[in-house]
């Protein structure tokens, strides 16, 4: 990062239900040097770190970075956006945002890179190193703690994860707020 930037939070602007980092140098650092947060406009998988684009952060990324003191978010008028406002927007966007965010935070705190798993039919795709450095080893799907597991859905998820060579993991948040994981594995 640039000189003095370690103490100074990155500025982001709330645009709809995304946060955009317009400072391209700080955006590049946040993506390549800080944990592959967000995605660059018009670049699906950057191959080199010389990207000159704005960075779009999901509400999950933005809330996490705000809580860690690495990001400050403003609205279009320049007013500061609180973590609670980001959380409320998340609740309007995701059906079970609080559980999804708890799992996201837990995975990030473990040093893993967490991206959307929508194209795989899961909540997250999770990397140890990061996109472009490896294929993601895990698909993580967040389910409410008291939900019932449909055997057909388990088989479908298992077949999909097997075909894309990823481990399928169900994540949940128990009544005490602890995050737990169940991994499914083919026996044959």
The residues carrying an active-site annotation are 127, 135, 166
pLDDT of amino acid 3: 44
Q: Parallel, antiparallel, or unpaired for β 113-116 and 39-40? A: unpaired
What residues form DSSP beta bridges with 74? 13, 80
Query: Is pLDDT at 4 greater than 60 in this prediction?
Result: no
Distance, CA of 123 to CA of 170 (rounded, Å)? 9
pLDDT of amino acid 108: 98
Judge contact between 104 and 114, C-beta under 8 A.
yes
Distance, CA of 49 to CA of 107 (rounded, Å)? 24
pTM of the model: 0.88
Domains of the chain, each with CATH number or no CATH: 1-93 (3.40.1170.20), 94-188 (3.40.1350.10)
Distance, CA of 39 to CA of 62 (rounded, Å)? 12
Query: Is pLDDT at 162 greater than 90 in this prediction?
Result: no
Distance, CA of 67 to CA of 74 (rounded, Å)? 15
For the chain, what is the mean pLDDT? 87
User: At 86, which helix (H) or strand (E)?
Assistant: helix 83-93
Distance, CA of 125 to CA of 120 (rounded, Å)? 8
What residues form DSSP beta bridges with 13? 20, 74
What's the pLDDT tens digit per position in 59-111?
A: 999 999 999 999 999 999 999 999 999 999 999 988 899 999 999 999 999 99
pLDDT-based confidence at 10, cuts 50/70/90? very high
Q: What integer is the mean pLDDT of 6-14?
A: 88
User: At 182, which helix (H) or strand (E)?
Assistant: strand 179-184
Report the Cα 128 to chain-centroid distance in Å.
13
Distance, CA of 161 to CA of 171 (rounded, Å)? 15
Angle at the Cα of 178 from the Cα atoms of 175 and 182, rounded to 5 degrees = 100
Distance, CA of 37 to CA of 65 (rounded, Å)? 9
């Amino acid at each position: 990062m640039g000189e003095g930037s370690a103490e100074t939070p990155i500025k982001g602007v709330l645009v709809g239900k995304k946060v955009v980092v317009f400072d391209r140098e700080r955006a590049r650092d946040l993506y390549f040097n800080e944990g592959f947060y967000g995605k660059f406009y018009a670049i699906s998988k950057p191959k080199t770190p010389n990207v000159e684009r704005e960075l779009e952060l999901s509400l999950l990324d933005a809330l996490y970075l705000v809580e860690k003191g690495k990001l400050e978010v403003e609205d279009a008028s320049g007013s500061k956006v609180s973590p609670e406002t980001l959380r409320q927007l998340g609740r309007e966007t995701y059906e079970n945002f609080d559980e999804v965010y708890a799992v996201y935070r837990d995975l990030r705190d473990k040093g893993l890179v967490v991206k959307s798993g929508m194209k795989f039919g899961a909540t997250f795709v999770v990397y140890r190193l990061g996109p472009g450095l490896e294929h993601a080893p895990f698909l993580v799907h967040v389910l409410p703690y008291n939900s019932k597991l449909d055997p057909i859905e388990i088989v479908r998820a298992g077949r999909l994860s097997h075909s894309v060579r990823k481990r399928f993991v169900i994540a949940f948040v128990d009544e005490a707020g602890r995050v737990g994981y169940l991994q499914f594995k083919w026996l044959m």
